[in-house]
Structure 1
Amino acid sequence: MNSRARKPVARIPVFIALVAYCGIIISLTMLKAFFMIGLLWQPENQRVRGLSLVPLNDLWESASLFTQIFGYGGNFAFFVPFGVLAYLLVGHIGATTLLGAGFSLLIEISQYIFQLGFSDIDDLLFNTLGAAAGALIASLFGSRAQWVWVTLTTVLTAVFIVLVILGPSLGDPDRVAEVNASGIPYENGFSGRSGA
């Protein structure tokens, strides 16, 4: 364990924070068919099954840089808090990375089996890298920062719960602009689709 981590970890609050954050991860990866936050997604469109086993496929298949940044960067960032909290409990970067990989693999398999989302090898890769980065961050700061992580997770969980409760009332559907595959809004409301 890191020499800076001399202060003992308050395991119960860290464990509770990790469980709460895992709940957020599961909600945003597998349960979007059952709730909404504003107009970020349509629950009725979330019951899908797809599988991509080609690593880094979005680098050459994606029509927009936003998709790549949001997909890869978002999956990486999504698992950093997981890695921080898990490291505080297990105290080893390798074990934390394996926990992140295992949790992500469980999510990807469950999404496919239960038709709750698109299973992608890139999600597994970047989630695992995010967990490893979180473990590295936690190892650098040691257990002295544990209350910062627990507090941030508590605030994030509270904000998430409020967003879910307010979900359908957030956003103005009249102000939503359709965009093309490049992320550019259609001009004059013309989407180029027939029967729209």
Structure 2
Amino acid sequence: MNPAHKLRIYSLQAIFAVYIYILFKIILFKFGSINFGFLWQQLQHSSENIAASAQRGNFIPLVTLLNTFDHPTTHTLVNFTGNIALFIPFGMFLVILYPQGTGGGSFSGVLIRSLGLSAMLECAQAVLYIGTFDVDDLILNTFGGLLGYMLLRPFVRAYSSRKGSSVTKK
């Protein structure tokens, strides 16, 4: 592998790591500072937090989504579009970072990874009591990841067929 190609791969991985950091900061900390002391304190009370989170969370698919369209407010529309938009880059990064044939950048790979990351973030919100678990967020986040896949995949295929390789594999 030539040095320029290695640099491109490492640069993409670094940008992906920054994206994941920003994603966590937005979803878990709502743009606030990351306070590990606060998280530790929340974790120590997690058994109480889970019970409270379960009472205020949404575990029934499409309830929040239908409410968003029945009674749209600025908050619900920002939440709706934000949940999709935040995961579009995730799907794109998976397409770029996983070479063809490895499965990670495939439709099912993006689906599983988007759903898994979203579930992890939603569960963290519930356990740490720093947000509300909403199954509809899982749906929207996963859709966002798949949308990123669908937006970028045709370009990666065209690039790969033109160059005879994937974006990151040489």
Q: Give the TM-score range, shorter chain.
A: 0.5 to 0.7
Consecutive unaligned residues of structure 2, counting only runs of 5 or more, are: 35-41, 43-48, 99-104, 160-170
Displacement after TM superposition at 1:69 (Å): 2.6
Distance 1:32 1:14 in 2: 25
Distance 1:55 1:84, change over 3 A: same
Match of 1:54 among 51, 60, 81: 60
**Partner SS for 1:119:** coil
Query: 2:92 corresponds to which residue?
Result: 84
Q: Distance in 2 between matches of 1:21 and 1:135?
A: 16
**1:28 and 2:26 matched:** yes
The CA RMSD over aligned residues, in Å, is 2.8
Distance (whole Å) between structure 2 residues aligned to residue 60 and residue 81 of structure 1: 25
CA apart distance, 1:33: 7.9
1:78-118 deviations in whole A, cap 9, x for unaligned? 10011101211123222122111111110001110011111
Distance 1:31 1:66 in 2: 20
More helix by share: 2
Name the counterpart of 1:95: 109
Aligned to 2:80: 72
Q: Deviations over 1:44-91 (max 9, x none)?
A: xxx884411122213444543434432222211110011101211123
CA separation of 1:33 and 1:86: change in aligned 2, threshold 3 A: closer
Partner of 1:129: 143
CA contact (8 A) 2:80 2:140 kept: yes
SS in structure 1 at match of 2:87: helix
- CA–CA distance in 2 between the matches of 1:132 and 1:56? 18
Partner of 1:184: none
The share of aligned pairs that are identical, in percent, is 23
Partner of 2:152: 138
CA contact (8 A) 1:18 1:86 kept: no
Range with greater deviation from structure 2 (113-122 or 48-57): 48-57
TM-score (norm 2): 0.64
Distance 1:59 1:106, change over 3 A: closer
Structure 1 residues 103-114: aligned runs within 5 Å: 103-114=117-128
Change (3 A) 1:31 1:68: closer
Flag structure 1 segments of 5+ consecutive residues without an equivalent: 1-7, 37-46, 145-196
2:129 is paired with a residue of what secondary structure? coil
Q: What residue in structure 1 maps to residue 168 of structure 2?
A: none
